[in-house]
Chains A and B, each alone.
Chain A
């Protein structure tokens, strides 16, 4: 069974700091990769996704992620975080061509201090 690992469960940063959240997955075949965000009291929203092509994908709110196939990784980055980025972030994987939903990591709780 495929699995998704997010390296940090809690991250605390100051505003304007750079962010990188790690995500590794275990499935060896073709995958679709996602990052979702859950702001306090809100529903899960899609930040960005990778299906094919350019391994560097850009999402909403200045976030980007890089797919490195050789490392089975899909790390999320943002050059300069804001207080409003405080949220829980989930990495998710879908097997290419699969119809059985997403496998999620356990999430990273990000707190941005003003």
Chain B
């Protein structure tokens, strides 16, 4: 069954620690995305990648970093520089091209205390 796997589902960290969220897809999609979802704010784009070894900042990239060493994987690191890291993080992928919807993973809920 093809899809997007995000792990873990729930993650807890102490303030000041970096934390990496995993996202793996077996859909053979070239493009991958990270969004952050907050109540009443909708989804906001953090980073995206159209091809291996290349990625671009989205609307709220500050305090985050990503890598794209493999087509299947697009991990997101929430650094200690992110002022308000507690949120629900969604990974998505799509084929490249304008007529392509995004397919989403189940998300990771990160709580930083």
The answer on A and B forming one complex is: yes
Nearest-CB distance from B82 to chain A (Å)?
A: 19
Residues in A neighbouring B102, C-beta threshold 8 A: 46, 101-102
Q: Choose among B45, B98, B106 the residue that contacts A103 (Cβ–Cβ < 8 A).
A: B45
How many residues belonging to B are interface residues under a CB distance threshold of 8 Å?
26
Assess the A44–B40 pair: CB atoms within 8 A.
no
Q: Mark B91-112, 1 if CB is under 8 A from A, else 0.
A: 0100010110111111100000
Given A32-B99, A96-B98, CB of A107 within 8 Å of CB of B42? yes
Contact across chains for A105 and B98 when beta carbons are under 8 A apart = no
CB within 8 Å for A98 and B98 given contacts A104-B42, A107-B42: yes
Q: What 1/0 mask marks residues of chain A from 83 to 114 whose CB sits below 8 Å from any chain B CB?
A: 00000001010101111111111110000000
B43 lies within 8 A of chain A by Cβ = yes
Smallest beta-carbon distance B91→chain A, Å:
10
- In the complex, how many residues of chain A place their beta carbon closer than 8 angstroms to a beta carbon of chain B? 29
Contact yes or no, A100 B41, CB < 8 A: no
Cβ-closest chain A residue relative to B57: A100
Task: Check if A43 sits within 8 Å of B101, measured CB to CB.
Answer: no
A8 to B59, CA, bound (A): 23
Closest CB-CB distance, A35 to chain B, in whole Å? Answer: 10
On whether A105 and B42 interact (CB within 8 A), knowing A43-B105, A44-B104, A100-B48, the answer reads: yes
Q: List 18 interface pairs A-B (beta carbons < 8 Å), by A numbering.
A: A36-B104, A44-B90, A44-B92, A44-B104, A46-B101, A46-B103, A49-B101, A51-B99, A98-B98, A99-B31, A99-B50, A99-B96, A101-B35, A101-B45, A102-B45, A104-B43, A105-B42, A106-B42
**B residues at A contact (CB < 8 Å):** 31, 33, 35, 40-45, 48, 50, 56, 58-59, 90, 92, 96, 98-99, 101-107
Residues of A within 8 A of B (CB): 1, 4, 6, 9, 32, 34, 36, 42-46, 49, 51, 90, 92, 94, 96-107
